[in-house]
Amino acid sequence: MQKRKRIITYLLPVAFAMILVVVLAFGVLFIRNSLMKLTIEERSSQLEEMVTQIRTNLDNGLQTHWNLVAGLNNAVQGNHFKDSQDVSENIAHMENDFCTDMYGCRVMLLDEQGTAYLSDGPAGIWYDISHLLDGEKRHTFVSETDTIDGSFLVFSQELDTPITMGDDKIRFTHVVLLKDIRTVKQYYTTTTYGGSAATYIIKKNGTLVYFDADIDDVIGARNVYKALEEAEYVQGRSFDMIKEQLDKNGIAAANILLDQTEYYYCLTTLDDYDMTLMLLIPADAVAISTMNMMNSTVRTLTIFISVIALLMLLAFFSLIKVQRSSQMVKLEQETNKELNQLRLMAESANAAKSTFLNNMSHDIRTPMNAIIGFTNIAMKHSPSPEIKNCLDKISDSSDHLLALINDVLDISRIESGKIQYMPTPVDIAEVSNSVLTIMSGYLSNRNINFQTEVEEPQARYVLTDAVRVREILVNILGNAVKFTNDGGTVTYAVSYDKEKDEKYIHVRYRITDTGIGMSEEFVDHIFDEFSQEEHGARTQYKGTGLGMTITKKYVDLMGGTILVESKKGVGSTFIVDLPMEITDECEVKKTDYAVDKVDLTGLKVLLAEDNDLNAEIAIVQLEELGMQITRAGDGDEVVNIFTDNPPGTFDIILMDVMMPNKNGYEATNAIRNLKNRPDGEEIPIIAMTANAFAEDVQASMEAGMNGHLSKPIVMDEVIKTIARNLDR
């Protein structure tokens, strides 16, 4: 009896404890596996997003080159060449006219036997002539033969009428544009995966036609599809499933094991071409932050569970003496509850990552608005020199912090493919003017000889993204000014090059300075994230180290090129070459208002702002301009104030978005749909919010607002936006 009692006293608790630990361990395993699955989906989806962007870039790039080929076709039609030297000279002329540095291409004419004629003479029978025999007039493929050194993306067009040479015995039947494959790289290269992504161009039957990467070709086969078929798939998938998805959606991604290493690959077909693009990336380079977060979550969970388990064991032993059986049941229930909560925590951590980007923007911009706003207000109240000194430092620091936030967000968004190139009609000369206006601020307290050499464009109106172009130029010019000592020179030159087919124009910006220059080693890394050359006095030239990275990414996004030449102690030259489609003048909206000529005195403004600090800043600054402000503290209140006052009480509503009760979109919707208040449909409503992304602007417009101002507020922008909406 005594022995049995001892067993119950000691062994039973131990058995229960062990069971508890095992249950907890399985719980952690379950959560971990769920997280792993979510992570794989997240990584595949991120990869697909990236490849979709690449496909769009590549499609656009290929189409641009077909336009070039059409130009070449027109240029050669009707010619008769005297001899092969005449042919070479004509080709050289065409290369000069059509093949700018950006296109990196050569022109070739093919005679009936397949002899290739280049600018430097006949080059023998082209090995790839067999690609042109299927009866189609146009062909695109990758060529890597002995006929011409190098690898080229071929754009071949059969001539409508053959061209003759000499006594007409030689007839040219095809004009071919050979684009150096290295220049195609700009369309598919991504730095997101730290240079470990391999790019494969594959025929529809799986045959490899081009491989490009800094790493070894781990597939190592002529038929890539066969290799993918034989690879080991994770998550019970197979190549057949991936191929089916590819055929259906034009894009598919999966993770596989090759030689015991996990890789992610993503395939996407290029419509109209026998080309499929594949990105192959080692798993440990895909969505690193997501993986780190997942691993850290699992680690935290493991530690947490271990501690819980330990505590439970201790509690278990202490409680067992008092209420062994009932306590055990209760403890088990508690444990299950805890596990459930932990699972929910883990899931919400994953969801939090997805919304982090947006929240970071809003939540940091809101206090930044207060800091910058109040600093500006304080500066206007004639502070003492000591206080002014402090305010200047606050102002500098907050400007820097804002720049850093903006740059970090921009980088993240570009890399996740959320920023897309959306060209709109623009007066390109006006873009230059606005850049110069911005730069005048940078130059105001500097003794720098700023020279401009701006050509008059042959076509002013183009399709481009003015904001991004401006950002590129201001970034480069800002650096030029920053890194040039007083007494030095910064030159801003703009030239234009119109293409033969008259649809496109190349805008070339050349920015030269006589500043401190850069070392050769640094120039190679200038576009890397957070790259800043060590000058020995970093504070003298402070920056985020992301400006040039963003600049390069924007240039890539627009299908352009950027070249840098620099010599330490002598200066730097940046050349940005951007192709832009020409558009009609009528499509360009004249939008700008001269701030100093706008009079907003007496304007009645209904301001919806839940944050007291932000409200105070806005009220002070708007009232300084003579406006009369009525404040609403949330979404409900703004609707009520508008409803309770007769039509005409307010000229305009400035609306915060993230507010309690009703958010800005809901409040706008309510005002726009008020019964018996037709003025509710017409009153201008301007979003004034810390949500600053392009999709936020889009959301404001879709909610029925007339404009969008992002915080921290810039008074000039506020004035312009109000003036534009009230036509003042």
Partner 1 sequence: MKRAVCILLSVVMAATLFMGCGNQNGKEENDVKTQTDEQGNVVSKADEQENAVSQGEQKEKVVVACWGNQMLDTYTEYLCDLFPEVEFEFVLATNSTDYYRFRQDHDDMPDILTVRRFALKDAVLLKDYLYDLSNTELASTYYGSYLDSYTYDDGSVNWLPTCEEVDGIIINKTLFDEYNVPIPTDYESFIDACETFEEAGIRSFVSDFSADYTCMEVLQGASIPMLQSIEGRKWRQQYESGATQELSKEVWLPIFENFFDFKEKVGLGAEDATYQNRTPKELFSEGKAAMFRGTGADVISFPGRGQDEVLLLPYFGQTEQNNWYLTYPTFQIAASNKGMDDPEREKLILDIMTAMVNQQGQDHISYGKNMVPYKKDVTLELMPEMDNLKPYMEQNKLYIRLASNEMFRISKDVVQMILNDEVKTPEEALAVFNEELAGEEPGTEIVAHIDTAYSNDFTPEHGNQAASAIANTMRVLSGVDLVFMQSCYAASDIYAGDYSQKDLGYLAKNDGGWPGLMELTGDQIYTLVETTLSMTGNRGAVCNDSTLYVSSGFEMDITKTESGYTLNALTIEGEELDRSKTYSFLIYGERDWYMSEVMEQMGVEEVDSTGPKAEGYLMQRLVEEGGQLEAPTDYIIMR
Give the binding site for partner 1 (CB under 8 A).
Answer: 10, 13-14, 17-18, 21-22, 24-25, 28-29, 32, 112-115, 122-130, 132-135, 144-147, 173, 203, 205-209, 220-223, 225-227, 230, 259-262, 302, 306, 309-310, 313-314, 317
Shortest reach from residue 124's CB to partner 1, in Å: 3
Shortest reach from residue 223's CB to partner 1, in Å: 3
Q: Cβ(650)–Cβ(606) under 8 Å?
A: yes
Residue among 10 and 530 whose Cβ is closer to partner 1: 10
Shortest reach from residue 316's CB to partner 1, in Å: 10
Q: Cβ(222)–Cβ(203) under 8 Å?
A: no
Shortest reach from residue 450's CB to partner 1, in Å: 54
Shortest reach from residue 267's CB to partner 1, in Å: 14
Half-sphere exposure of 518 (CA within 13 A, CB side): 22
Q: Cβ(305)–Cβ(21) under 8 Å?
A: no
Residue among 309 and 562 whose Cβ is closer to partner 1: 309
**DSSP letters along 92-114, please?**
HHHHHHH--TTT-EEEEEEETT-
Residue among 223 and 531 whose Cβ is closer to partner 1: 223
Residue among 147 and 710 whose Cβ is closer to partner 1: 147
Residue among 262 and 455 whose Cβ is closer to partner 1: 262
DSSP letter at 551?
H
Shortest reach from residue 245's CB to partner 1, in Å: 19
Shortest reach from residue 320's CB to partner 1, in Å: 10
Shortest reach from residue 17's CB to partner 1, in Å: 5
Residue among 14 and 387 whose Cβ is closer to partner 1: 14
Return d(Cα 490, Cα 493) in angstroms, integer. 10
Return d(Cα 116, Cα 57) in angstroms, integer. 30
Based on C-alpha coordinates, what's the Rg of the chain?
Answer: 32
Residue among 261 and 333 whose Cβ is closer to partner 1: 261
Q: Which residues does 529 contact at the CB level (< 8 Å), separation at least 6?
A: 191, 411, 545, 546, 549
For the CA atoms of 208, 212, 214, 216, the dihedral, rounded to the nearest 10 degrees, stands at 10
Packed helices 466-482 and 547-557: angle between N→C axes, nearest 10 degrees: 150
Residue among 29 and 422 whose Cβ is closer to partner 1: 29
Helix H or strand E segment including 485: none
Q: Cβ(674)–Cβ(662) under 8 Å?
A: no
Residue among 212 and 581 whose Cβ is closer to partner 1: 212
Residue among 77 and 205 whose Cβ is closer to partner 1: 205
Return d(Cα 666, Cα 18) in angstroms, integer. 55
Q: Cβ(514)–Cβ(571) under 8 Å?
A: yes
Shortest reach from residue 475's CB to partner 1, in Å: 41
Return d(Cα 268, Cα 278) in angstroms, integer. 6
Q: Which residues does 65 contact at the CB level (< 8 Å), separation at least 6?
A: 103, 105, 153, 155, 177, 179
Return d(Cα 358, Cα 669) in angstroms, integer. 23
Shortest reach from residue 216's CB to partner 1, in Å: 12
Return d(Cα 580, Cα 472) in angstroms, integer. 15
Shortest reach from residue 153's CB to partner 1, in Å: 14
Residue among 262 and 636 whose Cβ is closer to partner 1: 262
Shortest reach from residue 293's CB to partner 1, in Å: 16
285-302 core/surface letters (b: 16 or more CB in 10 A; e: else): bbbeebbebbeebbeebe
Shortest reach from residue 526's CB to partner 1, in Å: 35
Tokens coding 726: 């009230």
Q: Please, which residues bridge with residue 87 across strands?
A: none
Residue among 209 and 459 whose Cβ is closer to partner 1: 209
Helix H or strand E segment including 163: strand 152-165
Residue among 241 and 307 whose Cβ is closer to partner 1: 307
Q: How much of the chain is in helix, strand and coil states, percent to nearest 5? A: 50, 25, 25
Amino acid at 516: I
Q: Is the dihedral of CA 706, 708, 714, 720 positive or negative?
A: negative
* 37, 142, 479 from 178: Cα distances, Å: 44, 9, 37
Shortest reach from residue 260's CB to partner 1, in Å: 5
Residue among 166 and 487 whose Cβ is closer to partner 1: 166
